[in-house]
Amino acid sequence: MSNDSGSVLLALLTGAAIGAGVGILYAPDKGSKTRKKIKKKAKAASEDISDRLSKATEELTKTAQTQKEDFERRLDESISNMSYKADDIIASLERKLADLKKKNAQLQK
């Protein structure tokens, strides 16, 4: 290691040691209390995330159900419209067939 690298490393370690010492001296609570607070906040955050996930799941389910119902309604409307159009086409074809039969009967005379 060069002198500059050694000096930087020494300064870094010294700073970390001083920071840890100051942190311990000015810590508002004992370690056990701090761990309890951290555990409590982690549990609260976990519950909050769980609640948000549940709400998001409910909203997604509602949206999916609404979209499904809308799709089914549109599909039923489309099938109904196609059914009416198919009836119209069949009626038109039957009229043309009747006309063709008449023309064929006239041609055979």
DSSP conformation letters of 17-64: HHHHHHHHHT-SS-HHHHHHHHHHHHHHHHHHHHHHHHHHHHHHHHHH
Give the pLDDT of residue 98: 92
Residue range 8-14: mean pLDDT, rounded: 77
Q: Which helix (H) or strand (E) holds 1?
A: none
Instruction: Quote the domain boundaries for residue 76.
Output: 3-108
- The whole-model pTM stands at 0.46
Domain count, the chain: 1
Closest to 41 measured CA to CA, from 33, 56, 92, 23 = 33
Q: pLDDT digit string (tens) for 40-87?
A: 877 888 888 888 888 888 999 999 999 999 999 999 998 888 887 888
Give the pLDDT of residue 75: 93
Name the band, by pLDDT with cuts 50, 70 and 90, for residue 21.
Answer: low
